Structure 1
Amino acid sequence: MKPFLMFCSAATCALATATLTPAATAQTQASTAKPVPVATLVKQVDIPYQSFTLDNGLKVLVHTDRKAPIVAVSTWYDVGSKHEPKGKTGFAHLFEHLMFNGSENAPGDFFEPLKQVGATDFNGTTSFDRTNYFETVPKQALDRALFLESDRMGYLLGAITQGVLDEQRGVVQNEKRQGDNQPYGLVYYKVLEELLGGTPYGHNVIGSMEDLDAASLEDVKNWFRSHYGPNNAVLVLAGDIDVATARPLVEKYFGGIKAGPESRLPAVTVPTLAQPKTVTMKDRVAATMILKTWAVPGLNDADAVPLDVFGEVLGGLASSRLDNALVRREKSVVQVSAGVQSMAQLGMFTVQAIVKPGVDAASVSQRLDAIMTDLIRNGPTADEVQRVATTNVAQRIAGLESVGGFGGKAVALASGELYSNDPLFFKKQLEAMARVTPAQVKAAGAKWLTRPALTIIVEPGQRDAYQEAQGVAAAKPAAAAPQAEPAKGTRGALPGVAAVTDLDFPDVSRTKLSNGIDLVYAQRKAVPITQVAMSFDAGAVADPDTKLGTQGLTLSLLDEGTTTKDSIAIAEARERLGAVIGTGSSADRTYLTLATPSANLAGSVDLFADVVRNPAFAPAEVERVRTQMLTGIAQELTSPQGLANRALPTLIYGKGNPYAKLAAGSGEPAAVKALTRDDLVAFHRAWIRPDKATVYVVSDRPLAEVRAALDARFGTWQGQGTAGTKAFTVAPQQSAPKILLVDRPDSPQSLIMAGQMTSLDPATELLPQLTANQVLGSGFLSRINMELRENKHWSYGARGGYSWMERAVPYMISAPVQADRTGDSIKAIQQQVRDFLTTKGVTQAELTREVNGTTRELAGRFETSGAVLGALQENDLRHRPDNFYDTVAQKYRTMTVQQLDAAARGALDPNRFVYVVVGDASKVRPQLDSLGLPVEVVPAAALATSATTASK
């Protein structure tokens, strides 16, 4: 399903007649191969497992996958926000944070011992239905991971002091502010309140400021005692492990934990509104949003799969009914989506549209209703249902390459066990989707979606006052944590970690297509998918100086019609194949990508080649996508991150340097309005051409087969006209240190971005600088993050890092902070950077942590095909050998504290940073005037043209 609240350039309306381009006439099109049946794809999805249950009730699932020497550890607790009584909202999510903050036998943040062992994908999440913790570790570190997971399950309470509670309460409240601070950021609260109020699902997972403020130490300890026993949990081990090895380890670490109270499912009835209800909200947004929603059954209901298919047909597929009608043909909205958010005991079916500026929202609302009514009355076609099934199965195949993380095999098994008492429930869902009929989909829609709807309309305007904002105004300085003595540990030291074998990176092969395009290939057989990245030597710097946004509009139109297919035909073909075709760019490169089930490789490459080589740029499509793009740009100018991303590059690169074009974001509005079809054709011919291209592939299929498939479609491709060139004649010239305050009224947080241009040579290996920065700015344990998040709890997270581009290496810091602590946060950042670069450099303990963690994590880091594909491209851009990651562990082990200090101090100067602050100037300006730097205030609208000014 397409994401909500996102502007995108998904395939859109019908293609007007266009003349064949020279590129098209030169291509010999292979006949499109027929997609394999969806049932064939479903057979490729399997996660065999074994299970056992400890005497204390802990259910354990074990899946063996020997592709890499790693094990995913995933612990799921049957407690989420639906279990929270009135007055204690947010407790489950608060405990997710508290359970990362150390236990009786592992005091301090769990991130430290997990980093030491080379854990990847380690995190925790909370939903309405559950809380989970997960990490993927080298198999040699499994003992330590199980010790840590068992310690927070059975030995946590003695480590929770008032100081720890206050710290994580502050972090959670800033996580909430960060979400609230986004455009449309208050909508979800209203949806839950109006649609699900009175049910256990009727409040947001993150809770209310009031309830979080009121939580006492005894409150939270009682919450833990009631919900986090082993009999209320599922533990999944997936990877280089088997049940014979797993069982004694789990018994050793978890067997002595006593069972707790049984979790009870709250009573939930799917609510129905008495009558249709419309709620209108105001927010500082660029376009009106219409959201219609209905409460529907949860994922275990027989109607769950038919409703999911109904949502995909209506507004989830790229070729959905809503996209085809409202985006492509009528052009009344710039983005539309529909789908089900399924929880265990109920769900929400949502239709959402971003109205094209100038179009009457009421008429769009009526059209949404009419299109939905037609689908309910007549049902979907068999082809639509099959395309939904194929798309979903292909996504699941790709997702199951990971053993853990947010969506891998461990997640599939754990969620099935916890929600449905069946670890293989995911496969039953796919099988049900593969055999669902149009009649079943129609019946489910008629049953559940003809009931009264809740409609939320968000209009541009001053954001309505809301209760959560009061917490910002009333915020007080963080008090020193009370001196409480944590409980003494009784289980001994953390288990040691045996030597971890260095990474064996996949062998890399290099060849060429018939026309000379370089092909870089690596084979991965874990899942039957093929991923292709066609990288062009272009990027943001290739945008014409006075036409910033040309590349963006060109890329957005590639799948909006070729010389033989309109956009609907392209979207439908992708869906029948289960293929994903994407575009993107960095500062230096432009990417066209393909991911497909390998069984459909031939047909997918046919389609990919047509999109890459033969875009039609039909005038009607240009105008429609231009409007979408301009609306997206306007949305950037309401977003904290979008504003900061536009403001900082001008200060870092100065006028005339090509990288200053990054300040254009998605484009400069006046330039995008003036672009012609000829401009787009010229950009495509100059930059999207074979002599600018390198093709990177990771596939389970052998190189010969992959090369043959690509050569048949791209081997005859020849460039037309003159290739584009990049003019780096002006060196970056950073602004003098100052603070640029971008006024964004009503912001409960301020976004701080800081940066400086370094003198580092991007053509050299920067491993020492990058490693030193892991201590200063990169990762959870970095000093900047620990200071602002854990020590001060003024931020949900802050980070700093080098932006390593092909011809420049600036350093950037990003920190969203609560509004009343903006000035103090800049002071804290300055102090951390200054200390690190002078008297408090890298410690031996930090060096050991970073070397251990970085070398031990390599197998987990490159577990997936996507990660390997990214490494192939990065190695070429950095001029590294293909075996770089086979040798990098030895490079880390030779590093010294002195070397890292010298690398950081040679690159950074604490007195040269420039700052951008996006926030409410009326609240923030007084805090900045005392920092000793010039302060310049600009309105957000001024950033719409700053990139053009800077690049001249």
Structure 2
Amino acid sequence: MRPSMLLALLLAMPMPVPPAAAQSAVDIPIPDIPYTKFVLKNGLTVLVHEDHKSPVVAVNTWYHVGSKNEKPGKTGFAHLFEHLMFSGSANFDKTFLSALEGIGASDLNGTTNKDRTNYFETVPASMLDYALFAESDRMGHLLGALDQKKLDLQRGVVQNEKRQRENQPYGVVEQIVTGNTWPANHPYSWTTIGAMEDLDAASMKDVTDWFRGNYGPGNVVLVLAGDLTPAQAREKVEKYYGDIPPGPPVARQRAWIAKRSGTHRGSVQDRVPQTRIYRVWNVPGADTPEEALLDLAAHVLGGSKTSRLYQRLVVKEQLATSAFSSDDSSEIAGQFGVNLTARPGADAARMERIADEELRVLMKTGPREDELRRAKTAILAQYARVVERVGGFGGKSDMLARCMTFTADPDCYKTYLKRIQAATPAMVKQAMLAWLGDGDYVLQVDPFPAGLAPTLTTLDRSKGPPPGHPEKLHLPPMQSAQLSNGLKVVLAERHAAPVVNLSMMIDAGFASDSHALPGLASLTLRMLEEGTRTRSSLQIGTELEALGASFGAATNLDGAFVNMNVLAPTLPRALGLYAELVLDPSFPQADFERLQRDRIAAIAREKTVPRAMALRVLPGLLYGKDHAYGLPLSGTGTEAAVARMTRADLVRYHQAWFKPGNATLLVVGDTSMAALKPLLEKAFAGWRQGAAPSKNVAQVAQPDKTVIYLIDRPGALQSDIVGAQLAPPRNTPDAVALNLLNDVFGGTFSSRLNMKLREDKHWSYGAGSSLVAARGQRILFSGSPVQTDQTAPALRELVREYADIASARPITQLELKAAQDNETLGLPGAFETIAQLSNGYATILQYGLPEDYYDTYTDKVLGLGAAALNALAARTMLPKQQLWIVVGDMRKVEADVRGLGLGEVRKIDADGNLLP
């Protein structure tokens, strides 16, 4: 269909009219993040932001060096150095992640992209000196501890990370798109992770030269945000950073958009269940006028469920299971992309053709005023929520650091948001015509056929600062009330940001699924937003965007959750929509059929991802397939069961389980019970009482012997090894001790499993263990993706680690202290945002924990000794009764795994069925 004909058709179609409340624009002010700026004599730029709501400080360090500063033949250096910076420095010769975990750091990591390398952690205020000492030491004294052993170890870790990425479905895409969209000598023409051969060739001289040339304080922005004053910050920064030499001047790249002409196509086959099409244009980068306009264009075209691509391809034509667009802005250029995932069996060429039609119609007419208003509201609302967090991705320190690094103006986000506010349909149209009318690259991925000067003073670094101390929590108290229909309401007030989080907690979950229809609970919850008694799916999405609100429904083993995050000024307007979404879903037949097909496709995708493959079959093997918990851990069910479902099944499920007496409404944020309760009485007046069904979560026995299950994934670049057993429920008296035990075993970076497989053997990018929360017996499982040729040795080491922690190698006082520090020192940073608070209170309510559970958690943790943990390990960890699942290329690993003689070996398919 020609664009002009499509436009005529669209204009002839009646457009849904949102409720009147959503028509008016929401007045969302541009956030202000006050800061104090100073520059040390060595060139280090420092920004300080005060936020005293929680006793934590975010430390955010941005080095203005990324993969674009590399040269062909020496790619991957920036990312490799990100890893090396975690491996210890001359006066802080410790594994950085382990050491910072040990002082309670949250939002702790480092990342590298094309333009910068950043390191960030949010630490208890009492631990700020420790963090600054560590950060400054690796900035100024890294090379004193760098040796060939560390280089070889981290080189192996990075190469395993590369293998792990490429072992995922669609993992080949990044390399192909990068190489085909930028000129050969462009700084963005190689991936950040680099080439294997370049990593292999990296010498000690290469990496030391790279460090000396790029990591001096004159090339760094440091942001401190949180519970401190500018005077305190300046004193500490001068103390720890002042004597570091500035480093040489660093060359800066100018904008190089590399706009292309014509259409270029590529295709590749991968082990994926669905055809996916990527379409990419080179466009202007960050902090340009065009960025804001193209961001708005991306939102209107494919940024939400109300977008043109989603409505046309997913809802109306039902050719795709997902369709979205984005504008990815980097420092010297950007890329605008469209991503289309075809429904299995659908005509991918027609899907692509219709997406192009939608793009061209939008370029011809520009967005409608209502579309543009919703896109603006969505972007402004996202930034309004930034003020909740001091650290991590997208927090206040991150915003200031990015702006200062790339524009020398910490307030550059305000310029961006003013451009968003000022944009008109004509401006968006012009930007699209200028940049998206020509020069695209299309990649189709198909499934394989079925088959400055230093300060003169110096710091004595022979010993670090004294350690800080755990900060006890004093969370806002939970207030309780009951509506006239019996619905329990729990409110926790916090007024630091104009945000309110609503969570309707239903006592249901995967355990409420019948054995005949696994996946019914999660599909019912997924369909709540597809239509109500008075609103269509498009009207719901339109109204949410107009209110600056977000909505989501989720399920876990024991519960269902209907969540809405709203801005406080829009709460009264939003509650009517929220109540209707909870109480009056219409489950439209056409949308049910579409989501039914989407769910079947999603299950097929899960059965191609190594870890997901293991976790789908694990519960059935451990609990038994007839147990309430014996369903795939994703909750999606099985293809056969989903195919059998009807709309009536969803209606019956909702009517049976959604009862006010079977629910609790948790509200957290900027409101009060006096203001809230009348609004809730009105919104939920129509919800009638009634009895809900009961669930039967039976006790089961542990495995009586070691059994190893093998799942073949031909061509896999890695093997994923999962070990599992049963553990006591979430509310067991041993719950706190179990958390500590898991920390020592595999729950932290410094755990035994990760240290063995990543840091010692460097066979894996990362290994760990987790406890799955449940009211009944929980799953304790370990997950270890390892390189294929080390599958059997890795499994042997894992078995040894289980035996060691059970009895052979008891937990030491040092390990206990590290786990205690990890559990207590990071608590303040875990309750910074409204969403984090809501999750914490939801845990208390769902599992029947004491109201002061988190306020008293620190004392409980510090009261445990090594003897208690070792006794718990002896009766909980079962090395001779482990269930193991190995997902990998069985042609390469099966014989070696069998040769270990660890126990009975059984081959199963991706549904857990035994194979000959």
TM-score, normalised to structure 1's length? 0.91
For residue 908 of structure 2, give the secondary structure of its aligned residue in structure 1. Answer: strand
- 2:181 counterpart letter in structure 1: L
- 1:825 counterpart letter in structure 2: A
Query: In 1, Cα distance between the equivalents of 2:594 and 2:487?
Result: 34
The equivalences for 1:569-584 within 5 A come to 569-584=539-554
Query: In 1, Cα distance between the equivalents of 2:860 and 2:730?
Result: 19
Query: In 1, Cα distance between the equivalents of 2:634 and 2:282?
Result: 41
Matched with 1:249 is 236
Report the more deviating stretch, 317-326 or 426-435: 426-435
Matched with 2:839 is 870
Matched with 2:671 is 701
Query: In 2, Cα distance between the equivalents of 1:736 and 1:36?
Result: 65
Deviation per residue, 1:747-780 (Å, 9 max, x gap) = 1011111101236685434111221221111111
**CA contact 1:685–1:719 (8 Å) conserved in 2:** no
Deviation per residue, 1:432-464 (Å, 9 max, x gap) = 212211111000000000012100001110699
Query: In 2, Cα distance between the equivalents of 1:624 and 1:902?
Result: 52
Larger RCO (CA within 8 A; separation ≥ 6): 1
- Specify whether residues 463 and 750 from structure 1 end up closer, same or farther in structure 2 by C-alpha distance, changes over 3 A only: farther
Query: In 2, Cα distance between the equivalents of 1:574 and 1:697?
Result: 18
Matched with 2:716 is 747
Report the more deviating stretch, 840-849 or 915-924: 840-849
Deviation per residue, 1:524-572 (Å, 9 max, x gap) = 1221100111111100011111111212221221111112111111110
- 2:111 counterpart letter in structure 1: T
Matched with 1:907 is 876
- Specify whether residues 338 and 579 from structure 1 end up closer, same or farther in structure 2 by C-alpha distance, changes over 3 A only: same
- 2:87 counterpart letter in structure 1: N
- 1:113 counterpart letter in structure 2: A
**CA contact 1:192–1:203 (8 Å) conserved in 2:** yes
Query: In 2, Cα distance between the equivalents of 1:329 and 1:48?
Result: 47
- 1:138 counterpart letter in structure 2: P
- Specify whether residues 652 and 762 from structure 1 end up closer, same or farther in structure 2 by C-alpha distance, changes over 3 A only: farther
Match of 2:41 among 43, 55, 58: 55
Match of 1:441 among 412, 417, 428: 428
Matched with 2:534 is 564
Displacement after TM superposition at 1:931 (Å): 1.9
- 1:509 counterpart letter in structure 2: Q
Displacement after TM superposition at 1:812 (Å): 0.7
Matched with 1:414 is 401
Query: In 2, Cα distance between the equivalents of 1:815 and 1:456?
Result: 32
Q: Please provide the CA RMSD for this pair.
A: 2.2
- Specify whether residues 620 and 431 from structure 1 end up closer, same or farther in structure 2 by C-alpha distance, changes over 3 A only: same
Query: In 2, Cα distance between the equivalents of 1:625 and 1:814?
Result: 31
Percent pairwise identity:
39
Query: In 2, Cα distance between the equivalents of 1:56 and 1:730?
Result: 64
Matched with 1:456 is 443
- Specify whether residues 208 and 665 from structure 1 end up closer, same or farther in structure 2 by C-alpha distance, changes over 3 A only: farther
The equivalences for 1:603-618 within 5 A come to 603-618=573-588
Deviation per residue, 1:633-673 (Å, 9 max, x gap) = 11111111221111211221124321102357412111111
- 1:616 counterpart letter in structure 2: S
1:691 matched to 2:670? The reply is no
The equivalences for 1:793-808 within 5 A come to 793-808=762-777
Pairs aligned (count): 893
- 2:813 counterpart letter in structure 1: Q
**CA contact 1:651–1:735 (8 Å) conserved in 2:** no
Deviation per residue, 1:586-621 (Å, 9 max, x gap) = 111111100011111112221111111111112111
Query: In 1, Cα distance between the equivalents of 2:321 and 2:45?
Result: 47
Matched with 1:9 is none
The equivalences for 1:262-411 within 5 A come to 262-411=249-398
**CA contact 1:42–1:430 (8 Å) conserved in 2:** no
Matched with 1:812 is 781
Query: In 2, Cα distance between the equivalents of 1:386 and 1:97?
Result: 43
Match of 2:109 among 123, 128, 135: 123
Displacement after TM superposition at 1:499 (Å): 3.9
Query: In 2, Cα distance between the equivalents of 1:937 and 1:853?
Result: 39
Deviation per residue, 1:218-270 (Å, 9 max, x gap) = 11111100100000000000001121111121111111011112222234421
- 1:70 counterpart letter in structure 2: V
**CA contact 2:702–2:725 (8 Å) conserved in 1:** no
Deviation per residue, 1:306-327 (Å, 9 max, x gap) = 0110011000022001111111
For residue 372 of structure 1, give the secondary structure of its aligned residue in structure 2. Answer: helix
- 1:689 counterpart letter in structure 2: K
Matched with 2:149 is 163
**CA contact 1:321–1:371 (8 Å) conserved in 2:** yes
1:674 matched to 2:613? The reply is no
Report the more deviating stretch, 877-886 or 95-104: 877-886
**CA contact 1:763–1:879 (8 Å) conserved in 2:** no
Query: In 2, Cα distance between the equivalents of 1:779 and 1:15?
Result: 55
For residue 817 of structure 1, give the secondary structure of its aligned residue in structure 2. Answer: strand
**CA contact 1:737–1:914 (8 Å) conserved in 2:** yes
1:849 matched to 2:836? The reply is no
**CA contact 1:15–1:621 (8 Å) conserved in 2:** no
Query: In 2, Cα distance between the equivalents of 1:572 and 1:678?
Result: 27
Matched with 1:69 is 55
- Specify whether residues 815 and 498 from structure 1 end up closer, same or farther in structure 2 by C-alpha distance, changes over 3 A only: closer
Query: In 2, Cα distance between the equivalents of 1:539 and 1:110?
Result: 39
Query: In 1, Cα distance between the equivalents of 2:475 and 2:352?
Result: 53
- 1:856 counterpart letter in structure 2: L
The equivalences for 1:710-721 within 5 A come to 710-719=680-689
Query: In 1, Cα distance between the equivalents of 2:167 and 2:95?
Result: 28
1:137 matched to 2:107? The reply is no
**CA contact 1:72–1:134 (8 Å) conserved in 2:** yes
Query: In 2, Cα distance between the equivalents of 1:168 and 1:35?
Result: 55
Query: In 2, Cα distance between the equivalents of 1:264 and 1:384?
Result: 42
Displacement after TM superposition at 1:628 (Å): 1.2
**CA contact 1:115–1:853 (8 Å) conserved in 2:** yes
For residue 205 of structure 1, give the secondary structure of its aligned residue in structure 2. Answer: coil
- 2:893 counterpart letter in structure 1: V
Query: In 2, Cα distance between the equivalents of 1:928 and 1:203?
Result: 37
- Specify whether residues 732 and 335 from structure 1 end up closer, same or farther in structure 2 by C-alpha distance, changes over 3 A only: farther
Displacement after TM superposition at 1:711 (Å): 2.4
For residue 268 of structure 2, give the secondary structure of its aligned residue in structure 1. Answer: strand
- Specify whether residues 15 and 170 from structure 1 end up closer, same or farther in structure 2 by C-alpha distance, changes over 3 A only: farther
The equivalences for 1:875-886 within 5 A come to 875-886=844-855
- Specify whether residues 155 and 938 from structure 1 end up closer, same or farther in structure 2 by C-alpha distance, changes over 3 A only: same
- 1:440 counterpart letter in structure 2: M
Displacement after TM superposition at 1:574 (Å): 0.6
Matched with 1:474 is none
Query: In 1, Cα distance between the equivalents of 2:625 and 2:631?
Result: 9
Query: In 1, Cα distance between the equivalents of 2:602 and 2:787?
Result: 26
**CA contact 2:287–2:412 (8 Å) conserved in 1:** no
For residue 339 of structure 1, give the secondary structure of its aligned residue in structure 2. Answer: strand
For residue 388 of structure 2, give the secondary structure of its aligned residue in structure 1. Answer: coil
Report the more deviating stretch, 190-199 or 125-134: 190-199
**CA contact 1:165–1:217 (8 Å) conserved in 2:** yes
- Specify whether residues 399 and 732 from structure 1 end up closer, same or farther in structure 2 by C-alpha distance, changes over 3 A only: farther
- 1:811 counterpart letter in structure 2: L
Query: In 2, Cα distance between the equivalents of 1:329 and 1:836?
Result: 56
Query: In 1, Cα distance between the equivalents of 2:619 and 2:14?
Result: 37
**CA contact 1:16–1:620 (8 Å) conserved in 2:** no
**CA contact 2:764–2:784 (8 Å) conserved in 1:** yes
**CA contact 2:60–2:222 (8 Å) conserved in 1:** yes
Query: In 1, Cα distance between the equivalents of 2:762 and 2:341?
Result: 35
Query: In 1, Cα distance between the equivalents of 2:161 and 2:603?
Result: 26
Query: In 1, Cα distance between the equivalents of 2:305 and 2:387?
Result: 23
Query: In 2, Cα distance between the equivalents of 1:141 and 1:434?
Result: 41
Query: In 2, Cα distance between the equivalents of 1:16 and 1:926?
Result: 62
Query: In 1, Cα distance between the equivalents of 2:821 and 2:802?
Result: 24
Unaligned runs of 5+ in 1: 1-13, 18-29, 465-488
- Specify whether residues 909 and 542 from structure 1 end up closer, same or farther in structure 2 by C-alpha distance, changes over 3 A only: same
1:600 matched to 2:570? The reply is yes
**CA contact 2:319–2:348 (8 Å) conserved in 1:** no
- 1:831 counterpart letter in structure 2: R
Matched with 1:504 is 474
Matched with 1:92 is 78
